[in-house]
């Protein structure tokens, strides 16, 4: 009886890029989540920050997709591919929501009404957090359960 052993190749440079991207994204999100006082003073600055968030999400999602963030684990655990594809498809929707939010903030920056922008951000932020949690869960399942390193 032969035992088939599979491995996942980890590219250190790619992991560093993902780490730096995640740090930039987290810093921006944390600043927005705390409703930093500068956003209260200037809706124009809020609009700029939401534009930066949109741009950072584009980078974040591109890195995940272009470098096959899920591909190696899914070759080993193909039963998770449907979940991975569902999550990949959410990238476009989340990016569209971030773009619409940045546009809304830009239009509101002229009339000083931030309520709709903050409400929109709260909805978007919840969706993004759920998406990221599901991605993390999928990766952990691929590496622990399907690779046999879990308890």
Q: What's the pLDDT at 8? A: 47
Q: What's the pLDDT at 4? A: 47
Q: What is the 3-state secondary structure (H, E, C) of the chain?
A: CCCCCCCCCCCHHHHHHHHHHHHHHHHHHHHHHCCCHHHHHCHHHHHHHHHHHHHHHHHHHHHHHHCCCCHHHHHHCHHHHHHHHHHHHHHHHHHHHHHHHHHHHHHHCCCCCCHHHHHHHHHHHHHHHHHHHHHHHHHHHHHHCCCCCCC
pTM: 0.78
Across the 151 residues of the chain, what is the mean pLDDT of every consecutive 10-residue run?
Answer: 50 73 91 74 84 94 75 63 85 96 85 82 96 87 61 50
Q: What's the pLDDT at 120? A: 93
């Amino acid at each position: 009886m032969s035992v088939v052993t599979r491995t996942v190749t980890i590219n250190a440079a790619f992991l560093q890029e993902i780490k730096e991207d995640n740090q930039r994204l987290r810093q921006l999100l944390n600043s927005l989540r705390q409703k930093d006082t500068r956003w209260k003073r200037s809706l124009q600055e809020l609009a700029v920050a939401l534009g930066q968030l949109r741009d950072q999400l584009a980078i974040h999602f591109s890195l995940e997709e272009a470098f096959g963030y899920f591909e190696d684990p899914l070759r080993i655990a193909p039963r998770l591919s449907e979940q991975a594809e569902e999550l990949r498809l959410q990238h476009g929707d989340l990016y569209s929501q971030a773009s619409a939010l940045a546009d809304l903030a830009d239009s509101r920056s002229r009339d000083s009404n931030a309520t709709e922008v903050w409400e929109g951000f709260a909805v978007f932020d919840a969706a993004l957090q759920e998406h990221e949690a599901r991605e993390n869960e999928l990766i952990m399942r691929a590496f622990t359960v399907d690779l046999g390193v879990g308890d």
